[in-house]
């Protein structure tokens, strides 16, 4: 490349370039062939853009012809040189062509485009923005349908466009082509272009020398006196090569400054499906509160020396359990274990799917198996593919801001987002992954949650439908061992064969510990030896420095006293043994402890000496969170576990540390307390249940903190109650401990009463449901005890019926509807084994069967849970065993019990799965069952029975729709008016009989109201559902589409006006006159078009989801 072109490229990178693309810019590769096809189709002898000027004469319907032309253009395969054009920070592109190929090419390269078709008094205020690229169509564009912005279709139209083009060109000449500017021309042949040479001359004549670069220049162009003069005057620099060939050469030589490097300082570049997008800094501020957005340049690192490599490896080993050291992954310093590759394949498989129903992926295993490093490695591996956006949430984040993540997913335009969350959960706490997963799915966002957890038992794994990948402690394969050795020897510079013994080192934790390099202070003498002493001579450990260190500043800010020089001389010994024990005890679970808690535990005996130690001892790390709070954590959880097990040999010693930590908690440390209690609790990481016998002591300590200091919240109460429940279940003195269990129930009831009036608040609804579940579990434990000891049957039934009341409410408010039915099932199982009366058993079985029937009908996804299958088998066995004699049936009928009628109706359906599509051969039996339930003799009971009415509702639906409720998406129901009225009656009657109406029933009632013309009532119901209920992944699904009543299942089309387009949210707002309502249409493809507001659309279809009523599609 000669010096003149190098100078040109430099000006492109740093100047103000405008690009003019003539109508020949794609002639050789695309447009010649395109117009040849068009010419043949229309019977014209024109084979260029002039064919548009004949459309009025050639076509009977110009709009249909333009639509056909656009369709043909959409299928054109574009050249790949758009990537070179996108490298340049054009201030604007002007084209005389009416195709939109250049716009498509640049959009594919993730440039933000703003097309311009008409010009008024001035250009847009941001016309010369380098971030938003304006493409100006001088003569209209094929993908537009409005007059004066679609292509001219006759020579008479053309005059209007010529005036429009001149207006724009004059403004560019006057406003933007400053001495810093440059005008680049390509694909322009004045003899074949609609913009003639005299117009070009008028634009260029006032420009300075060498300000116009004319690519693809031919000698014959000098036949134009206008162009000849511009060349002679030195204004035009004629270049025979094409612009693309020059840019390609410059790119190969590394001369192009990619436009993304000059965006706003804090903007990020994120590749999606191989295409780069700019993530604006105003959005980054929000998402950064919760997550690290892994952008394209985060993983671009400079070469490092051998010594720097070893230093990085040491840093990686120290810090990787607390936070990712991305540069280490770039250099391959991590040990890729086999389970990581299994997880990687699972992640790719789910990311490649298009369903909203995605299972979280959970890496689980004991401490020291490399889960945190593997999670970061997986995030790195997914990111470098540059196909999917990646978010990373480290273990320090207690709860992410879900709304921020939702907004990020919206920006990603319906592309699957990989969210890696290193929460290192304990037991049931993995529900936080499902909460986030369900929240995003409920908003229609596609995301895959990949999390970490300590060991999970089979019951937990069966309760949560996820993809589980176990991180084993043993290194089982030779490939893993070799990988381990090679990395160590490469980056540590030592031979591992002398140290490696299969007797010990097939344990990953031991092998990892052996790899930890020596430290800079006395810790190198041996970790256990160092921290085993209670007193350490400061003079041997550290050289005291000035007080204005970061740690000292933080201590002073927190009001911690700093000793004077004189005090330093008086004592040079500091007791740090307790600090080591505290941090190790807590840190072995991957938890950092607030320094304020340590300070209180030491009774204020903290001075400058301790501050110095915390800064100098490698075993202890100190950091400050965004609120200025100091947290202390061990170098790694592995070392903390070794220290804790060595210095706190007795479990009782560890419990005393835990209790002391609890006693020193204040309001601001409640989240820390909850995290700690979950870690050591019933579903925590401690193996073999070492703490079980101490659960009561720990719970009482939490209770004293609540009673004596008023320090608690709903989460600590839940933990306190679960500790008592688990203690009671394993107690050998249940007769004595039963009172403690009952007192815990009273505590839960008080907290429920405190938030009773706020339970419909979405932010508190989840807590209310969890409290109800814990209360029910506690009552269930009490009930189990009474059943086991053969207590009075009246007492057993009294407790059981009390339990039923709370479980019925829990079904409405629980974030997971399976928990209440599970508790109900095992509690009923215990009661049914006692000697209660047969009629009472029939009632319990009838209610239990109805409960499972309703929950599965309203929440079909429950059927895919492994533990559900165990429970349903148990319930089915109860139902099969329940033989109702005629005498018993009449006795039940006489006391207005619905159980006999319900179970006999169910018996008539035996062999028919009413949760699946119905076979034609079974319709008769279902109709007979409906007739049986509607027998006149039973009406006084059936009309008062939610069990029977709910069964009737499902059976009517099954017969008429040929499939159960909520079976598939976008079902058009074939119901006539009589059926809609019957369903509406049943739903209304059920609503009258219950205290809390399920949102599923409200949904169905709303659908009925819409089809019966009660539109306002319908919208009120759906508004209530959207605001007050949480539905996880099912929420955005449009289960049903509005149909024509009495017309056999035909979809009903509506007309409406487009009122507003919100491209950023991917939606358009329509007003539907027939129902006098405004509805949203969520469709990115639709809103990405250039739409004109107030245009009438027909063929609008309306759908119903738990998020509300919206437009399903537009024909």
Per-residue 3-state assignment (H helix, E strand, C coil) for 676-692: HHHHHCCCCCCHHHCCH
CB-based burial label for 182 (10 Å; 0-12, 13-18, 19+): buried
Torsion angle of C-alpha atoms 228, 229, 235, 241, degrees rounded to 10: 0
3-class SS letters over 837-870: CHHHHHHHHHHHHHHHHHHHHHCHHHHHCHHHHH
Angle, vertex CA 656, rays to CA 650 and CA 659, nearest 5: 145
Cα-based distances in Å from 1105 to 66, 767, 1000, 1004, 1020: 37, 25, 10, 10, 14
Name the residue among 1093, 1088, 1047, 1096 with its Cα closest to residue 1072: 1096
Q: Give the Cα separation of 83 and 615 in Å (integer).
A: 50
Q: Please tell me the least confidently modeled range out of 424-433, 625-634, 722-731.
A: 625-634
As beta bridge partners, residue 623 has 631
Averaged over 599-622, what is the pLDDT? 60
Averaged over 74-100, what is the pLDDT? 82
Name the residue among 557, 539, 540 with its Cα closest to residue 548: 557
Return the percentage of the chain with pLDDT > 90, whole number.
25
Residue 130: pLDDT over 70: no
Q: For the chain, what is the mean pLDDT?
A: 79
Structure tokens at 935: 């027998």
Q: How high is the pLDDT of residue 389?
A: 92
What are the residue ranges spanned by the domains of the chain? 3-261, 280-302+330-473, 534-641, 650-730, 742-835, 837-967, 1054-1114
Cβ proximity of 1043 and 1011 under 8 Å: yes
Query: Confidence class of residue 858 from pLDDT cuts 50, 70 and 90?
Result: low
Q: How high is the pLDDT of residue 1004?
A: 94
- pLDDT tens digits, one per residue of 246-274: 998 888 888 875 444 444 445 677 878 76
Q: How high is the pLDDT of residue 86?
A: 77
Q: How high is the pLDDT of residue 558?
A: 46
Name the residue among 852, 788, 799, 795 with its Cα closest to residue 822: 852
Q: Which residue has the higher pLDDT, 64 or 152?
A: 152
Residue 226: pLDDT over 90: yes
Return the percentage of the chain with pLDDT > 70, whole number.
79
Q: How high is the pLDDT of residue 185?
A: 94
Q: How high is the pLDDT of residue 128?
A: 60
Query: Confidence class of residue 866 from pLDDT cuts 50, 70 and 90?
Result: low
Q: How high is the pLDDT of residue 1108?
A: 87
Angle, vertex CA 697, rays to CA 693 and CA 702, nearest 5: 135
Which CATH number fits the domain 3-261, given the four candidates 1.20.1250, 3.90.930, 3.40.50, 1.10.15?
3.40.50
Q: Give the Cα separation of 250 and 260 in Å (integer).
A: 17
- pLDDT tens digits, one per residue of 741-789: 999 999 999 999 988 877 766 667 778 888 999 999 999 999 999 998 9
Domain 280-302+330-473 and domain 1054-1114 have a common topology: no
Angle, vertex CA 215, rays to CA 214 and CA 218, nearest 5: 90
Query: Confidence class of residue 510 from pLDDT cuts 50, 70 and 90?
Result: very low
The b/e string for 549-579 (b: 16+ C-beta within 10 A; e otherwise) is eebbebbeeeebeebeeeeeeeeeebebeeb
Q: Which residue has the higher pLDDT, 317 or 1078?
A: 1078
Query: Confidence class of residue 685 from pLDDT cuts 50, 70 and 90?
Result: low
Going by C-beta distance under 8 Å and a sequence separation of 6 or more, which residues neighbour residue 238?
Answer: 214, 217, 221, 231
- State whether residue 1046 is helix, strand or coil: coil
Q: How high is the pLDDT of residue 703?
A: 94
- pLDDT tens digits, one per residue of 915-924: 889 999 999 9
Structure tokens at 814: 């629980």
Cβ proximity of 10 and 250 under 8 Å: no
Q: Which CATH architecture has domain 280-302+330-473?
A: 3-Layer(aba) Sandwich (3.40)
Cβ proximity of 1098 and 1058 under 8 Å: no
- pLDDT tens digits, one per residue of 970-1026: 899 999 999 999 999 999 999 998 877 888 889 999 999 999 989 989 998 888 887
Q: How high is the pLDDT of residue 1030?
A: 55
Angle, vertex CA 531, rays to CA 529 and CA 534, nearest 5: 110
Q: How high is the pLDDT of residue 538?
A: 32
Which CATH number fits the domain 1054-1114, given the four candidates 1.10.10.10, 3.40.1410.10, 2.60.40.10, 2.40.50.140?
2.40.50.140
Q: Please tell me the least confidently modeled range out of 213-217, 374-378, 642-646.
A: 642-646
């Amino acid at each position: 490349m000669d010096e003149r072109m190098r100078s040109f490229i430099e000006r492109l990178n740093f100047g103000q370039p405008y690009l003019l693309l003539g109508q020949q810019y794609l002639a050789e590769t695309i447009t010649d062939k395109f117009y040849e096809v068009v010419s043949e189709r229309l019977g014209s002898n024109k084979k260029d853009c002039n064919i548009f000027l004949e459309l009025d004469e050639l076509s009977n319907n110009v709009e249909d012809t333009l639509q056909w032309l656009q369709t043909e253009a959409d299928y054109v395969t574009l050249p790949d040189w758009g990537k070179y054009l996108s490298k340049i920070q054009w201030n604007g592109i002007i084209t005389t062509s009416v195709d939109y190929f250049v716009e498509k090419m640049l959009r594919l390269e993730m440039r933000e485009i703003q097309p311009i078709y008409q010009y008024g008094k001035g250009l847009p205020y941001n016309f010369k923005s380098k971030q938003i690229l304006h493409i100006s169509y001088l003569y209209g564009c094929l993908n537009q349908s409005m007059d004066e912005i679609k292509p001219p279709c006759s020579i008479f139209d053309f005059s209007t466009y010529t005036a429009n083009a001149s207006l724009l060109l004059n403004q560019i000449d006057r406003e933007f082509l400053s001495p810093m500017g440059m005008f680049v021309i390509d694909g322009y042949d004045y003899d074949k272009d609609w913009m003639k040479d005299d117009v070009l001359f008028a634009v260029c004549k006032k420009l300075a020398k060498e300000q116009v670069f004319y690519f693809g220049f031919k000698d014959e162009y000098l036949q134009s006196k206008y162009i000849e003069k511009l060349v002679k005057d030195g204004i035009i620099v004629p270049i025979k090569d094409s612009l693309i060939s020059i840019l390609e050469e410059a790119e190969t030589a590394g001369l192009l400054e990619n436009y993304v490097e000059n965006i706003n300082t804090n903007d990020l570049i994120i590749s999606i499906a191989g295409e780069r997008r700019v993530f604006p800094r105003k959005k980054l501020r929000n998402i950064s509160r919760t997550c690290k957005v892994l952008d394209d340049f985060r993983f671009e690192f400079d070469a490092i020396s051998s010594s720097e490599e070893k230093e990085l490896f040491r840093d990686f080993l120290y810090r990787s359990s607390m936070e990712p050291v991305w540069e280490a992954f770039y250099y391959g310093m991590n040990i890729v274990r086999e389970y990581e590759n299994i997880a990687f394949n699972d992640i790719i498989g789910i990311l490649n799917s298009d369903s909203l129903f995605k299972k979280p992926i959970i890496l689980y295993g004991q401490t020291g198996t490399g889960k945190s490093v593997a999670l970061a490695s997986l995030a790195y591996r997914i990111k470098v593919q540059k196909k999917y956006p990646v978010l990373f949430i480290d273990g320090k984040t207690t709860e992410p801001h879900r709304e921020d993540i939702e907004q990020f997913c919206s920006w990603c335009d319906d592309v699957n987002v990989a969210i890696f969350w290193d929460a290192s959960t304990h037991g049931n706490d993995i529900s936080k992954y499902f909460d986030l997963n369900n929240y995003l799915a409920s908003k229609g966002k596609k995301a895959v949650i990949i999390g970490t957890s300590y060991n999970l038992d089979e019951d937990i794994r069966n309760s949560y439908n996820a993809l589980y990948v176990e991180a084993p402690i043993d290194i089982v394969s030779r490939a893993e061992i070799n990988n381990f050795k090679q990395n160590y020897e490469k980056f540590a510079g030592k031979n591992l064969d002398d140290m490696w013994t299969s007797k010990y080192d097939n344990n990953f934790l031991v092998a990892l510990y052996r790899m930890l390099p020596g430290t800079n202070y006395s810790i190198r003498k041996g970790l256990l030896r160092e921290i085993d002493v209670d007193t350490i001579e400061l003079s041997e450990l550290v050289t005291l420095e000035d007080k204005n260190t970061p740690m000292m500043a933080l201590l002073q800010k927190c009001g911690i006293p700093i000793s004077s020089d004189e005090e330093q001389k008086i004592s040079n010994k500091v007791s740090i043994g307790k600090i080591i024990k505290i941090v190790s005890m807590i840190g072995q679970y991957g938890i950092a402890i607030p320094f304020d808690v340590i300070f209180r535990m030491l009774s204020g005996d903290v001075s400058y000496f301790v501050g110095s130690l915390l800064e100098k001892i490698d075993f202890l790390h100190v950091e400050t969170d965004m609120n200025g709070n100091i947290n202390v954590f061990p170098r790694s959880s592995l070392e903390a576990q070794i220290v804790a097990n060595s210095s706190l040999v007795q479990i009782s010693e560890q419990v005393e540390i835990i209790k002391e930590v609890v006693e020193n908690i204040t309001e601001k440390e409640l989240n820390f307390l909850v995290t700690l209690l979950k870690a050591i609790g019933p579903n925590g990481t401690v193996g073999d249940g070492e703490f079980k016998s101490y659960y009561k002591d720990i719970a009482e300590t939490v209770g004293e903190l609540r009673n004596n200091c008023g320090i608690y919240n709903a989460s600590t109460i839940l933990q306190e109650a679960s500790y008592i429940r688990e203690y009671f279940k394993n107690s050998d003195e249940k007769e004595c401990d039963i009172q403690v269990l009952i007192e815990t129930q009273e505590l839960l009831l008080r907290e429920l009463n405190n938030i009773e009036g706020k339970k419909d608040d979405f932010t508190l609804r989840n807590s209310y449901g969890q409290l109800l579940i814990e209360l029910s579990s506690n009552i269930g434990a009490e009930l189990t005890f009474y059943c086991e000891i053969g207590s009075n049957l009246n007492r057993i039934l009294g407790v059981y019926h009390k339990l039923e009341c709370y479980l019925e409410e829990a079904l409405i408010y629980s974030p997971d509807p399976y928990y209440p039915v599970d508790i109900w099932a095992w509690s009923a199982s215990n009661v049914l084994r006692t000697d209660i009366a047969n009629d009472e058993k029939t009632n319990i079985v009838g209610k239990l069967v109805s409960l499972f029937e309703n929950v599965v009908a309203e929440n079909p996804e429950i059927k895919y849970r492994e533990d559900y299958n165990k429970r349903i088998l148990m319930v089915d066995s109860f139902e099969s065993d329940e033989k109702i004699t005629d005498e018993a049936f009449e006795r039940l009928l006489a006391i207005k019990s619905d159980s006999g009628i319900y179970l006999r109706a169910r018996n008539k359906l035996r062999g028919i799965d009413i949760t699946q599509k119905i076979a034609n051969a079974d319709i008769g039996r279902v109709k007979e069952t409906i007739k049986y339930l509607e027998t006149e003799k039973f009406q006084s009971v059936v009309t008062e029975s939610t069990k029977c009415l709910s069964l009737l509702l499902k059976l009517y639906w099954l017969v008429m729709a040929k499939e159960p409720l909520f079976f598939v998406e976008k079902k058009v129901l074939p119901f006539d008016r009589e059926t809609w009225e019957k369903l509406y009656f049943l739903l209304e009657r059920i609503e009258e009989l219950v205290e809390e109406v399920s949102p599923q029933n409200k949904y169905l009632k709303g659908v009925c109201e819409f089809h019966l013309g009660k539109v306002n009532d319908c919208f009120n119901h759906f508004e209530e559902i959207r605001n007050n209920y949480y539905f996880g992944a099912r929420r955005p699904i449009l289960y049903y589409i509005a149909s024509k009543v009495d017309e056999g299942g035909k979809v009903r089309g509506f007309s409406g006006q487009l009122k507003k387009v919100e491209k950023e949210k991917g939606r358009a707002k329509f007003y539907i006159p027939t129902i006098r309502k405004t509805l949203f249409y969520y469709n990115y493809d639709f809103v990405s078009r250039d739409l004109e507001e107030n245009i009438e659309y027909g063929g609008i279809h309306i759908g119903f989801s738990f998020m509300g009523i919206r437009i399903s599609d537009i024909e």
